[in-house]
Amino acid sequence: MARSRAAYEYTEAEDKSMRLGFLLIAAGLLSLLGLGCCWLRPALQERGGGGSANCTVLAVRQLGERFACTFSCGAACRGTARYPCLQVLVRTSRSPAPALLHEDERQLRTNPKCSYIPPCARDDQENSENVTYKQKYWKEKVGSQPFTCYFNQHLRPDDVMLKRTHDETVLLHCFLWPVVTFLVGVLIVVLTICAKSLAVRAEAIKKKKHL
């Protein structure tokens, strides 16, 4: 019995391999749990009740109201500038009522009153020029041409998005890498156990031949 137990004792390299495997298994499970609670669940809630539609521009306008944004000019340099509010009103193929267009869900959460947030520059005039350029784009280049937009009737029935932040590719990667980490950990543990078992059997057969 003592010899059998000694034969199945893992070497230092095998012990490190087992620890690595269990570490990867734990990391994969914790990643799935963390992403599911903190990121994936809200993303699925945003997608729930949503869909795509064809949008047509109804009006493009700048409001008199200006909003603050934070610019960065170095590691320890930050400041506040302002930009005008651009609104793009569209009609969707799902509803005749006008809806406010947004770049994506992140922009909608940051400023639900506007359709566009320019990259924040230190100069207010530069921010205004960026917004005016975007206004000309929607008026002249897009005009009355239909384009695909996305909506969520449950969360924001009066708003539509030009693109989704949480698309299928991001959701796939959210699942893929934790699962791959978990499976690699399982594979390392199984291969280490199998290699040890084969080594013990080979040693036992070798001893029998010498008897």
Query: Which residue, 50, 46, 61, is CA-closest to 94?
Result: 50
| Largest distance between two CA atoms of the chain | 97
Rounded CA-CA distance 17/188 in Å is: 7
Q: What is the pLDDT of residue 42?
A: 55
43, HSE (Cβ side, Cα atoms, 13 Å): 17
Concatenated DSSP letters of 120-153: P-SSHHHHHHHHHHHHHIIIIIITT--EEEEEET
Contact 116, 103 (CB under 8 A): yes
Low-confidence ranges of the chain (pLDDT < 70): 1-8, 35-50, 75, 153-155, 165-173, 210-211
Per-residue model confidence (pLDDT) at position 2: 43
Pick from 21, 26, 31: nearest CA to 185: 21
Taking a C-beta distance cutoff of 8 angstroms, is the pair 149, 63 a contact? no
- According to DSSP, residue 86 is labeled E
